[in-house]
């Protein structure tokens, strides 16, 4: 997977399972642009604070969010979290079905986001879905370019609803496939 939602981490099976939930993918997106507390996330995502805290604990245990300090609130303090961006491309490891769970959550999140798209803005969106054969050099260049685009977008992320910003979505999954289908010619 190119740089993007999970840079800087080599995830084991527990990390993949922690990510295999659409709410957690949304939390990671929000924590890319700003440090937020469980209460902040709950308000932004329409969750209970307990539910947001639970998902944050799962992400923290998997090492995909980090402590970003505290904020003073009404005589107490709220712990802040952040999703760090940068570093080498992500490597997802493990083959116990966790990859499938992650991809299903990834697809569910894309469907949710697409329902919120703004139509009728020429030049404001691009879509592609392809299963192709290309030269390995072309493939490496495209993976690198997509990773760079993802990094640029994450680096530019701002807190939700910041004045002068627009809400956008980027979903990318580039991967090399096996040369042959397991059952050539089989229809699904």
Q: What is the pLDDT of residues 80-136, one digit of tens each?
A: 999 887 533 344 555 556 677 778 888 888 888 899 999 888 888 888 889 999 999
Any domain includes 184: no
Of 56, 64, 78, nearest in space to 7 by CA:
64
Whether the pLDDT of residue 184 is over 70: the answer is no
Any domain includes 179: no
Instruction: Write down the pLDDT at residue 35.
Output: 93
* Phi, psi for residue 73 in degrees, rounded to 5: -140, 135
User: CA quadruple 115, 83, 99, 102: dihedral positive or negative?
Assistant: negative
Instruction: Write down the pLDDT at residue 9.
Output: 39
Q: Mean pLDDT in the chain? A: 82
Instruction: Write down the pLDDT at residue 15.
Output: 59
Q: Which residue has the higher pLDDT, 30 or 97?
A: 30
Q: Give the count of beta carbons closer than 10 Å to the beta carbon of residue 11.
A: 22
Any domain includes 22: yes
Instruction: Write down the pLDDT at residue 97.
Output: 66
The pLDDT-based confidence of 164 (bands split at 50, 70, 90) is: very high
Instruction: Write down the pLDDT at residue 16.
Output: 60
* Phi, psi for residue 162 in degrees, rounded to 5: -65, 135
Any domain includes 3: no
The full DSSP string for 27-73 is HHHHHHHS-B-HHHHHHHHT--HHHHHHHHHHHHHTTSSEEEEEEEE
Q: Give the count of beta carbons closer than 10 Å to the beta carbon of residue 152.
A: 11
Any domain includes 49: yes
Instruction: Write down the pLDDT at residue 168.
Output: 93
Instruction: Write down the pLDDT at residue 94.
Output: 53
Segments forming the whole domain that contains residue 25: 10-155
Tens of pLDDT along 143-160? Answer: 999 989 988 998 899 989
CATH code where residue 64 lies: 1.10.10.10
Tens of pLDDT along 39-69? Answer: 999 999 999 999 999 999 989 888 888 999 9
Give the chain's domain count: 1
Any domain includes 78: yes
The pLDDT-based confidence of 38 (bands split at 50, 70, 90) is: very high
Q: Give the count of beta carbons closer than 10 Å to the beta carbon of residue 2.
A: 22
Instruction: Write down the pLDDT at residue 106.
Output: 81
Q: Is 110 in contact with 128 (CB distance < 8 Å)?
A: no
Q: Is 105 in contact with 22 (CB distance < 8 Å)?
A: yes
């Amino acid at each position: 997977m190119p740089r993007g939602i999970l840079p800087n981490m080599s995830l084991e099976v527990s990390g993949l399972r922690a990510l295999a939930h659409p709410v957690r993918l949304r939390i990671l997106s929000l924590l890319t642009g700003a440090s937020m507390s469980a209460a902040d996330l709950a308000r932004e995502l329409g969750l209970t604070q307990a539910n947001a805290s639970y998902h944050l604990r799962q992400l923290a245990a998997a090492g995909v969010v980090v402590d970003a300090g505290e904020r003073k609130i009404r005589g107490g303090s709220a712990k802040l979290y952040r999703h760090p961006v940068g570093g080498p491309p992500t490597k997802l490891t493990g083959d116990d079905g966790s990859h499938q769970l992650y991809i299903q959550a990834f697809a569910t999140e894309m469907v949710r986001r697409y329902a919120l798209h703004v139509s009728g803005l020429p030049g404001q969106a691009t879509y592609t879905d392809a299963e192709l054969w290309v030269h390995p050099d072309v493939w490496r260049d495209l993976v690198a370019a997509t990773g760079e685009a993802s990094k640029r977008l994450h680096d530019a992320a701002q807190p939700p609803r910041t004045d002068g910003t627009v809400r956008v979505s980027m979903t990318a999954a580039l991967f090399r496939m096996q040369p042959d289908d397991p059952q050539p010619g089989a229809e699904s």
